[in-house]
Amino acid sequence: MPKGYTVKTLADVPDVLGDYPGEMHMLTYELDTDQVALTYRRMPQHTGGKGSYGHFHREQEEVYFVISGKLQFKVGDDVIEAVKGTAIRCAPEVVRSVWNDEPEDAELVIVSKRIADSGVGKG
């Protein structure tokens, strides 16, 4: 009989950023979730998508939760300064990007619905 739970640490989950500074661990697959997608990201200064077009999804709402530091989110035409404890929800069609302009690292957790195809769109 299966246990009904899975335990993983960030050390168990590959960093998908490669040579790009910081860390991004997509825990969804290692946890083998059915419904929820979960990603941890650590962003050093001057990392992220400042000045970029950003991304959107066809059907996937995302919630970004800042767990440390301060980040700039470009959501549609708005720029939002987000500090520790800030949550930002983005509807699928909203173009978004995140940037760390501060000297300290920032950390965030991204939560969404798990879907088979990420449906990321770029213009």
> What's the mean pLDDT when you consider all of the chain?
91
69-83 pLDDT, tens digit each: 999 999 999 999 999
What is the domain extent for residue 49?
15-117
Q: Is 34 inside any structural domain?
A: yes
User: Total structural domains in the chain?
Assistant: 1
pLDDT at residue 121 above 80? no
| Kind of pairing between the strands at 106-113 and 62-68 | antiparallel
Q: How far apart are CA 74 and CA 79, in angstroms?
A: 4
Q: How far apart are CA 38 and CA 42, in angstroms?
A: 14
CATH number of the domain that residue 31 is part of:
2.60.120.10
Q: Is 6 inside any structural domain?
A: no
Q: How many CB atoms lie within 10 A of CB 105?
A: 16
Q: Is 72 inside any structural domain?
A: yes
Q: Is 8 inside any structural domain?
A: no
Q: Is 94 inside any structural domain?
A: yes
